[in-house]
């Protein structure tokens, strides 16, 4: 089932609420066989990060593993290290010590494959070019994701439809609203059908329709037995998470 079909099959969501997801369909047996039996979609083991000149580590031996078909929330006050954790998980920066793996494989072993499987939606208005059109952003995103040429335009067209960007496709980013920009950034995040999605305050600027689109995009990832890591200062009370943690003084604690 495509993301568009998931959207049409659901009722409108309440503002900033993500309803419970539908049960995941059977996993792809071939994909299961290719992976290590006990490997998690994403695992961080004893990850430590200390910025130069800092007296304490922003992350101190953080260990967490995301299971197939699950969504995990990590909260904590501003500046506690949530974004640093996501950037390390995305392979954008290296931890000082510790291991980060996707399906049992680290970015050091195969960076291209790692970054094809993982996608990060950063907080704020990052990653957009003011004078580039909505379609131009998606086309650029598809190319740097190294999608096959035969699939590129189809993937862009699907993202435009799935994220409700049809009327905005030809417009420059500096001429659309903040909520519309967030939809575009969501479309860029999910365009290449990643298996692990990292979300940094994803509901920012979204209305009820945008939150419903996000819910459907997440449901599709989980249905493929992927995993989602969601970080925000406060837990969204109506969002269903399979595991919840808080980041305090560089360490994860149960929430």
Cα radius of gyration (the chain): 18
Higher pLDDT: 7 or 88? It is 88
Residue 2's pLDDT band (cuts 50, 70, 90): low
Where is pLDDT greater, at 27 or 110? 110
Q: Supply the pLDDT for residue 42.
A: 96
Residue predicted with more confidence, 220 or 109 = 220
- Check residues 210 and 20 and name the one with the higher pLDDT: 210
Window from 3-12, 60-69, 191-200 with minimum mean pLDDT: 3-12
pLDDT tier at 234 (50, 70, 90 boundaries)? confident
Binned at pLDDT 50, 70 and 90, residue 27 comes out as: very low
Please check the confidence at residue 152 and state whether its pLDDT lies above 90: yes
Please, which pLDDT band fits residue 19 given cuts at 50, 70 and 90? very low
> Which pLDDT does position 255 carry in this prediction?
59
Q: Residue 136 belongs to what H/E stretch?
A: helix 134-144
pLDDT in tens, 50-105: 999 888 999 999 999 999 999 999 999 999 999 999 999 999 999 999 999 999 98
User: What pLDDT, on a 0 to 100 scale, did the predictor assign at position 28?
Assistant: 47
**What tokens appear for 223 in the block?**
């249905």
Task: List the domains of the chain with CATH numbers.
Answer: 3-10+30-254 (3.40.50.300)
Quick one: pLDDT band at residue 7, thresholds 50, 70, 90? low
Q: Among 132, 183, 179, 139, which residue's Cα sits nearest to residue 157?
A: 139
Phi first, then psi, for residue 65 (nearest 5°) are -130, 130
**Alpha-carbon distance 220 to 190, whole Å?**
10
For residue 246, give every residue at least 6 positions away whose Cβ sits within 8 Å of its Cβ, in sequence order, or none: 74, 75, 76, 252, 253, 254, 255
- Enter the pTM of the model: 0.84
């Amino acid at each position: 089932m495509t993301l568009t079909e998931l959207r049409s099959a659901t009722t409108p969501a309440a503002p900033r609420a993500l309803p419970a997801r539908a049960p995941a369909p059977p996993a792809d047996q071939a994909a299961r066989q290719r992976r290590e039996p006990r490997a998690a979609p994403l695992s961080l083991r004893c990850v430590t990060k200390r910025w130069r000149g800092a007296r304490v580590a922003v992350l101190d031996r953080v260990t967490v593993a995301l299971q197939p078909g699950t969504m995990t929330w990590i909260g904590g006050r501003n500046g506690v290290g949530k974004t640093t954790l996501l950037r390390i998980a995305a392979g954008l920066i290296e931890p000082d010590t510790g291991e980060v793996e996707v399906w049992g494989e680290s970015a050091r072993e195969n960076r291209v494959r790692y970054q094809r499987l993982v996608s990060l939606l950063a907080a704020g208005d990052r990653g957009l070019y003011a004078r580039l059109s909505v379609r131009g952003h998606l086309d650029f995103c598809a190319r740097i994701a190294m999608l096959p040429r035969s699939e590129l335009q189809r993937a862009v067209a699907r993202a435009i439809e799935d994220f409700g960007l049809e009327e905005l496709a030809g417009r420059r980013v500096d001429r659309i609203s903040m909520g519309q920009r967030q939809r575009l950034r969501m479309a860029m995040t999910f365009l290449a059908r990643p298996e692990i999605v990292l979300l940094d305050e994803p509901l920012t600027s979204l209305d009820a329709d945008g939150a419903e689109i996000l819910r459907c995009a997440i449901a599709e990832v989980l249905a493929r037995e992927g995993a989602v890591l969601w970080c925000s200062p406060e837990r969204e009370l109506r969002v269903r998470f399979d595991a919840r943690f808080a980041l305090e003084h560089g360490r994860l604690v149960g929430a």
